[in-house]
Each structure stands twice: as structure tokens, then as C-alpha cells.
Structure 1
Amino acid sequence: MSQIDRAVALLEQGRTEDALKLTEPLAKGPNPSHQELATHSQILKVLKRHADALVFDQLAAERYGRSPVAWHNLGATLDDMGRAQEACAAMERGFALGLNAPESFRVYGRALMAANQHDRAEAAYKEAFGRQPANVELASEYANLVWMRRGDMSGAQHIMDFAFHSGAPPGGPILTKARLWEAAGERDKAADLLALAAQRLPQDVGVLLAVARAQAERGEVADAERLVRSAQVLAPKSPGVLNQLTIVLLAAGKAEEALAAARKGLAISPDDQSLWGWAATAARAAGDPLYAALSNYEGNVAPYDIETPEGWPTLEAFLADLAVTLRRMHVYQQHPHNQSVRGGSQTMQMLVGSREPTLVALFKAVDAPIRAHIAKLGQGDDILRKRNTGDYRMAGAWSVLLRPGGFHTDHFHSQGWLSSAFYVETPTEALDRETREGWLRFGKPPIEVKPPMEADHYIRPQPGRLALFPSYMWHGTVPFTTDESRMTVAFDIVPA
């Protein structure tokens, strides 16, 4: 077995650092092969070290410039980093050399979306889907683009139906169709579709959990508990099942049982942000001190007002330029089907890594507040502080533009450690109302639980303000009704 084969085997076993130790001397050697460079880059990207991976993808494109795969790999990494125009150029070089795989057209579609070339993006997704129609993730991305661009529910649903009839496992298309209906405000249609799916797919754990959640939201708590118990029989040690059991038990008013289920899940998956979020809710309902430790708003949550970035005379001037940059990216009619936004739009490209001067300046300006907050958190044994290394990296960044009546549903960020909201524009008239319209709220779960819970902490937005908080915390936006808009940049960070 070659060193590369060993590295791939280690990667498949989850031993990523060990795999890296094998490929690093090969990729950095005097004459690395295409496979050595590509495998080393792949491992670096699994470790979220995209900037390091880019060096080896660029070297592969220079050394093996007639290889279409080298250009695909380079384009994919550039797209992951938010460098859309460069990603498009790399993919086009690859296509000229013979790229024809569905994944290449998919990467190209994502890069074109990020470059605001949406007709071409949709054409690229159509090419990818035509080559691999049973790929549920690809179909879901394609359907989401059709939905966001035009609000075309019929077209989006047709894509998922086609995936199903092309041989995709039935659960995936059904779950995406249900999320699309929910995004369109048709919650009953989504719940009815899921209920029918549960009857026909009684062994599909994902479907059972989705139906249980929908039934709990409708107030059909006994049926929800029956469904999640069925899923538990099929997958008794699944953190996802135990998470959903926690939710349903909270809806049923069984706080102690809910907290026990969450603790059982956390024993299996100790860093699961969803389980921590629901454990906090269960602890609050049960009067357990865990809630105070997890919320600890004074110690864990804070607003910071950034300094004026270099190159702008005032903070107001910078924010005005930043708003212009972001509005060029807010081109969608509808919100994504799988995010918390309602009544607005969300950018779909990775903003970190963008060459736009305003975005480069923004991420430089928020560095000091982030580092101050990490220092303030300090070390400790709790789930937040025990991960604190004193350093960080961005795990994702996007912008949201809410229209009048818009809001974020209460949610958490499953892939983060610390999450954020940076305010570019705020609905000033709404914010001054006694009802706190447009404010950022914390602590309110997204479904009705017993006893009922309202938010127990708020931050008042203002332009130039950055809010930082643990990713497991429930947070959302109080809807606002004034004829104003609300624009933010949000990002997740993880320890480095």
C-alpha cells in the first residue's frame, strides 16, 4: 500500500491529522505527483485550512496544467474561500480541457451564484442535475436556487419529484419538499406531506424525526412522542434521535425526562450544539442550575461597537459603502428554504475571502472585538470555555437583508462555537418601540414548550455594533412592522 493509499484510509477512519503527517512531506517534496498534491489539499480542506490547501491546488494547476481535475480542485477551493470570479475562471479552464462531471458543474453553479451570474448559475445546475438526477443534495441546491430567484414553488418541487423518480432514496426528496413548503409559509402542507411519508417509510429515521417535529409544532404531542419513540427503537444511540426526543418531551411538559434525554445524547456527542441548546431549554423548564451556567448572559454574550476601518473618514461612511457592496449581493426574491430568515434574503456566497475592499475591512475591524471576547471568556470546564484556545478561525459568513415584517426564526448555529450579528443598517423607528421590534433576542425556543418560555435577554441593534454569543444559544429577531429594512453580516467562528 502506498503512502497516499494509507493517508486516504486514515482520512476515511477520521484520523485526519495522521493522514496529514503522511502527505505533508510528499506534497512539499521536490517533485510531488498530482495525486500527492490533490490528496494533501483534500486533507487540509477537511481540517478547514482552505488557505493552506489553495497553495497546493495552485501548484498542481501550474505543474499539471493539462489536467482538468487540477483546475476543478483549484476552482472548488477558491469557491470555498469566497473568491467567486477566480473560481469561475478556474472551472472554465477545466471545462476547456474536458471536465464533464456533475460535481464540476455543481461547483461552477455555486461559483456563478456567488459572482451574481444567476442565469448562468441556473444553467450550470441544470447541467449537473441532468448528469446526476438522483443526487439529493444536488437536487436540493438546484431547487433552492429556483425558489430563491423567482419564488417558483412549482419548479422547485418538480426538481425534487424528478430526483425521486430518478431513483433517489425517497426520504431525501420528501424532506426537501416539506422544507420548501415551510419556507413558503405552507406549514400544514409540509406537515401533511411528512405524515404521509411516515406511513409509507416507517423505517426511515430521518422522516420519522421530521414528522415528530412537525406534529409537535402543530400541538399533536402524543403522536409526536409515538413517532420519535419509533425512531428510537431503530436508532437508540443516535444523538439526533435523542435530540428530537428532548424536544417532544419539552412540548409534552416532561422537563425532567427531556433533560435526561439531552444528557444521554451529550454523553454520546459531547460537542453537539443542538443538544446543548435543547439541554439549556430543558434545564430552564426543570429549574436545573445548568440553565444559568449555559445562558450566563453577562459572561457569555456581549455587544461591541467597532472602530472606523482605515481608509474611511467616519464609521457612517464605511457602513454606507458596505451597504452598497452587500445590496449588490442581495438579488433573491425569497429566503433560503433551510435557513432562519423570513421576509428577506440571504447571500449564498462565502463572504470571508472576498476581495471586496469593504468586506476585507469589515473582517479586519471585527478581529479586535472577537479577540477581546475570547479573552473575556477565559478558560474553564464548561462546554464553551473548555474549547477556548485563545485563537479562532471563521467557519462561515453571510449577509441577511430583512424587509418590513421580516425576522429570523429562533435558532442556533450547529457548526459554530461563537456566533454573531453585525449591524449594517437598522430599522430605527421600529427599535424605539416598547415592543422591541427588530431587536436581537435570546432564550426563546422555536416551538411551544410547557411551561411556555419567552426570551430572557435582548440586544438593541445599531449600525456598527457586533453582537457575539455562544452558538448553542437560541436567538432570533423580534419582527418589525415599520417601512424600513435591516441589514446584517453574520458569521460563525470556531477555535483554531
Structure 2
Amino acid sequence: MAFNWLQIGLAKRDLQDMEGALEALERAVAESPTNPVSAFAYAQVLFETGRNAVPAFERASALDPANPHLIRTHTAALAAEGEAERAQSILLDTLRQHPQWLDGHKSLATLRVAIGRRDDFDESYRRAINALPDSLSLRLAHVHLLSTARAWDAARACVHEAINRLGTSRGLEVARLSIESESNGPKSQDPNLFDAVAGVADPGLDLCRVRHAFRCGAIDAALARAETYRNTSQARLFWPYLSLGWRLSNNPAAAWLDGVEDAFVRAIDLGLSPDELAQLAASLRDLHTAQAPYLEQSVKGGTQTDRQLFFRPIPILQRVREKIKDAVQTYLETLPAPHEGHPLLTSPRDRPILFEGSWSVLLKAGGFHSVHTHPMGWISSALHIDMPSETDAGPAPAGYLQFGEAPPELNLGLGPTHQLAPKAGTLVLFPSTHWHRTVPIEAGERLSLAFDIRQPA
């Protein structure tokens, strides 16, 4: 019987059986060495599992040299394997030929931030805009990057420059208003700020409107707009804001959503021995090669690993992965009965447990996680691995994991509802819609592992 090893490999990858996927794709390449799809898929899985992937990407690139997705992942592999300068060179050469390749600009900017080149991380955008000054898509992508980096003055200047060159447009007007609101500008508390785009329907804009309404003290308006997304595919962006609004208005729906006294937050001892914790800590420290956190991350004063941590064939990681899957299954079995419309309790609990992402965070002196949620996940986590001593961390609650505090830039005055002291070997599970953060540590290092569980269909 003939097997389609490419399809088998891709199916196993979808099920996160990465070793099975790699074996099948290796056979696919052996049987069809000139098939560009098989070559790319094989290189991709090598990269995703933390193996040496550059030679495989070289072969795939020779078969399909103009594939932008291949170029982007090839350069990520080069950077991961210590060839950041070569990765930048390839991206720059490609961007000179294709200056409107937006994913390429973002990849180069992300790489430069990760290796500590924050000063010129957006250089390729500026060069492309100089060459194509009438490209609205380039200008909007540049503004979005600067806004993500919270470089508000630069973002504002880019919007004004674009309007002067191209005239106003809906995209530029939305960008201008969003920057004004989020940057604590002169009109950041003007309740009428978004009136000019009142007729524009867009989830990203509406999220900004919700945040602006909170900032202006218009709780009912924030809730009304967020409520319209409860039964949509974008609901997970808005549930955390519904929680804030319901708490502020003393609505019992807040307890329904978050659980009475944070009943959905569970601390579980994984039973890891001191030797296992030491092995895990050593393996993870070896993976912290970035010089700075990525732009979108909540990490401040530390680093976060790249790629799916649990895809790496490191024995201690794979043992911990299995312990974690067992713990997640127990967590699901002990949740309250299913409840229609609830972001945690609605989904089926008998499906395979898949990871939306998995990573490690290493915080240094002064480091912390800012207040955030995980809109891509269903259940989120923190596995504490190596914690600073009480003396190094500082007075309690330094280093604690806290839940429920509102983002400070919204000025809502909602403090944490629950907090946990970190303990090595303890896994904390909680709904991805929960606001959470860590309190800064004064000295030492705080090493943890985290993941999101994918919401089952």
C-alpha cells in the first residue's frame, strides 16, 4: 500500500505529535526530494522542534526561492541558530525587491528587538516608505508596529506625515484616534473622541472604544459595546472587559464569569523532585537566548523563549508535558457543570488536550509581567520552577502571581481579587480571560514555564 507521507506528516503535526510528524515528513522528502511542499514542511517541523533546521531550509529554498512564508521561517531558523546577521541580510535583500512585504518588515523588526537593536528596529519600514511614499498599507503597518512598541510620539508623527501626504482616510483616522486614546494624550479622556468614526464597525476599533469608555468613566457605554461581541468569534477579546465592567457596577455576572472567590484558579503540585526541577531549570535557561522581550509580550525586565516549548524533544520537558496534561485533565474534571455561553465552561472536556502555545519566562531584578490576558487561549498557566529567595524577591507580595487587577492605564482603581505566592514545582491553572500579572522582584531571578490550552471546537 502506498502512503501519502506528506499528508500523514501534516495530520500528525496538527495533532501535535511532532516526532511522528517529523518521521513521516522525512519519508515524504526521501520519496519526493524535489517536492517543495514536503521540503518546506520537513524544515518547518525541524525548526518547531528546536532541531538544526537551516540545511533543510536551504534545500527547500532552492526548490521554492520566492515563497515568502518559507523565507520568513528560514530567517527565523537562522537567527535561532546564531546567524542573526545572515537572517537580517536575507530579509533586507528580499524587502529591497518587495518593499510592500509587510510580514517581512515585521519579522525583521521583531528580530532586531530580540537581539537588542531597538534603536533601528523599524528601519526597513522607513526605507520602504521613502521608496513608496504613497503606499497606505505600508504606512499603516508602520504605525501599528510603533503603537505595539508604545512608541507613541513616533507613531503620532507617522500618522501626521501620512495624512499630509495622502490626505485623510478611515484607516489613518482610526489610527490617529487610537493613538490619542492609548497614549494618554490631551484628548485621552474626551468622551467624544471617537465620534468621527461612529459608523465604522470593526472589532479592533471597538476594543479601543471599550477601553476609552472605561478611561472616561463611561462604564455603561463600555459594557454595552463589549456585550455585542459575547456570541461572536471575537468574544475572547471582550470577556476580560465585561469582567471589569460588571465588577465596577456590582453585577453578579462578574462572579458567574470569574468564579466565586476565584474558584477557577487552581494551584497544583506536580510532584516534581528537586532533581527534576534542577534539570528543568537548566534546560530552560539554555533556551533563553534573546536579549530583550518581543514587542507584543507582557514581559518587563526579562526574556521569553521562542517557538513551542513542548515541541522540543528534551526528555525532562516531555516528562513535564505529560504531567501537565494529566493536571489539566483533572482540572477540567473538577470544574462546575457545563454552562451555555460561559467562555470556560461551555467547551467540551473530552477532547484531546492541545497546546496553543508554550514558553518559558526568565525575570531578572525589577522584572515582572504587566497586567494582561491570553485571548488566544482557553486555559492559561504558570509553572513556577526556580524562584528568588524571600530576601532577594523583597517584601511580600514581591514575585506573587495576582489576578483581577485592571490595567493601570484605564485608571479604574480595581485591585487584585486573589494572589498566590510562587512555589517551585507548583502549577497554577486559570481561565485565559482572567486578568493577571506578577509583582516585580527586587533581586535574583524568577524562572517559570507557561502555556495556553487550545479551546476545543
TM-score in same-fold range (> 0.5): yes
Distance 1:139 1:260, change over 3 A: same
- Kept in 2, the 8 Å contact 1:430–1:437? The answer is no
1:280 aligns with 2:249: no
Matches of 2:162 and 2:243 in 1, distance apart?
29
Distance 1:245 1:471, change over 3 A: same
Match of 2:346 among 386, 396, 407: 386
- Kept in 2, the 8 Å contact 1:74–1:90? The answer is yes
* Counterpart residue number, 1:16: none
Distance 1:101 1:241, change over 3 A: closer
Matches of 1:256 and 1:431 in 2, distance apart?
44
Shift in Å, 1:399:
1.2
- Kept in 2, the 8 Å contact 1:423–1:487? The answer is yes
Partner secondary structure for residue 299 of structure 1: coil
- 1:240-274, Cα deviation, whole Å (9 max, x unpaired): 2322221111111111121111101224x255212
* Counterpart residue number, 1:494: 454
- 1:417-471, Cα deviation, whole Å (9 max, x unpaired): 0011111221222687554111111111224446421111111111111111111
- Kept in 2, the 8 Å contact 1:405–1:479? The answer is yes
Matches of 1:464 and 1:124 in 2, distance apart?
42
* Counterpart residue number, 2:72: 106
Matches within 5 A, 1:407-426: 407-426=368-387
Letter in 2 for 1:179: T
- Kept in 2, the 8 Å contact 1:216–1:224? The answer is no
Match of 1:317 among 275, 280, 289: 275
Distance 1:119 1:219, change over 3 A: closer
Match of 1:179 among 148, 166, 171: 148
Partner secondary structure for residue 382 of structure 2: strand
Letter in 1 for 2:30: E
Partner secondary structure for residue 84 of structure 1: coil
Matches of 1:295 and 1:431 in 2, distance apart?
33
Distance 1:395 1:222, change over 3 A: closer
Task: Please provide the CA RMSD for this pair.
Answer: 3.1
Match of 2:423 among 462, 472, 475: 462
1:295 aligns with 2:263: no
Distance 1:479 1:423, change over 3 A: same
TM-score w.r.t. length of structure 2: 0.86
- Kept in 2, the 8 Å contact 1:174–1:193? The answer is no
- Kept in 1, the 8 Å contact 2:380–2:429? The answer is yes
> Unaligned regions of 5+ residues in structure 2, if any?
none
Distance 1:446 1:263, change over 3 A: same
Identity %: 24
> Unaligned regions of 5+ residues in structure 1, if any?
1-28, 309-314
Partner secondary structure for residue 233 of structure 1: coil
Match of 1:241 among 201, 205, 210: 205
Matches of 2:455 and 2:278 in 1, distance apart?
31
Letter in 1 for 2:320: L
Shift in Å, 1:124:
4.3
Aligned residues: 445
Partner secondary structure for residue 492 of structure 1: strand
Letter in 2 for 1:176: L
Deviates more, 1:428-437 or 1:254-263: 428-437
Matches of 1:270 and 1:102 in 2, distance apart?
28
Shift in Å, 1:76:
2.3
Letter in 2 for 1:470: P
- Kept in 1, the 8 Å contact 2:147–2:179? The answer is no
Matches of 1:43 and 1:232 in 2, distance apart?
45
Shift in Å, 1:147:
1.9
- Kept in 2, the 8 Å contact 1:213–1:248? The answer is no
Partner secondary structure for residue 387 of structure 1: coil
- Kept in 2, the 8 Å contact 1:175–1:210? The answer is no
* Counterpart residue number, 1:153: 118
1:73 aligns with 2:33: no
Matches of 2:63 and 2:128 in 1, distance apart?
29
Shift in Å, 1:207:
6.7
Distance 1:405 1:94, change over 3 A: same
- 1:135-157, Cα deviation, whole Å (9 max, x unpaired): 2222112112112212x233212
* Counterpart residue number, 1:7: none
Match of 2:315 among 357, 370, 385: 357
Distance 1:43 1:248, change over 3 A: farther
Matches of 1:412 and 1:113 in 2, distance apart?
28
Distance 1:306 1:229, change over 3 A: farther
Partner secondary structure for residue 71 of structure 2: helix
Matches of 2:172 and 2:271 in 1, distance apart?
46
* Counterpart residue number, 1:20: none
Matches of 1:389 and 1:291 in 2, distance apart?
23
- Kept in 1, the 8 Å contact 2:52–2:81? The answer is no
Matches of 2:363 and 2:180 in 1, distance apart?
26
Matches of 1:473 and 1:194 in 2, distance apart?
34
TM-score w.r.t. length of structure 1: 0.80
- Kept in 1, the 8 Å contact 2:180–2:187? The answer is no
1:436 aligns with 2:364: no
Matches within 5 A, 1:37-436: 37=6, 51=18, 57-79=25-47, 82-95=48-61, 97=63, 99-150=65-116, 152-167=117-132, 169=137, 170-180=139-149, 182=150, 187-190=151-154, 192-193=156-157, 196=160, 202-205=168-171, 208=174, 211-212=177-178, 215-218=181-184, 220=186, 225-234=191-200, 236=201, 238-267=202-231, 269=232, 272-296=235-259, 297-308=261-272, 315-378=273-336, 379-381=338-340, 382-391=342-351, 392-429=353-390, 433-436=394-397
Distance 1:131 1:48, change over 3 A: farther
Distance 1:111 1:432, change over 3 A: closer
Letter in 1 for 2:121: A
Shift in Å, 1:375:
1.1
Matches of 2:401 and 2:176 in 1, distance apart?
27
- 1:4-46, Cα deviation, whole Å (9 max, x unpaired): xxxxxxxxxxxxxxxxxxxxxxxxx8475x9xx57x877887x
- Kept in 1, the 8 Å contact 2:406–2:412? The answer is no
Shift in Å, 1:83:
1.6
Letter in 1 for 2:219: A
Matches of 1:224 and 1:198 in 2, distance apart?
24
- 1:188-224, Cα deviation, whole Å (9 max, x unpaired): 5356447637855743448725742652451645566
- Kept in 2, the 8 Å contact 1:221–1:251? The answer is no
Shift in Å, 1:324:
1.7
Distance 1:390 1:301, change over 3 A: farther
* Counterpart residue number, 2:432: 471
Letter in 1 for 2:153: K
Matches of 2:331 and 2:315 in 1, distance apart?
25
Deviates more, 1:244-253 or 1:47-56: 47-56
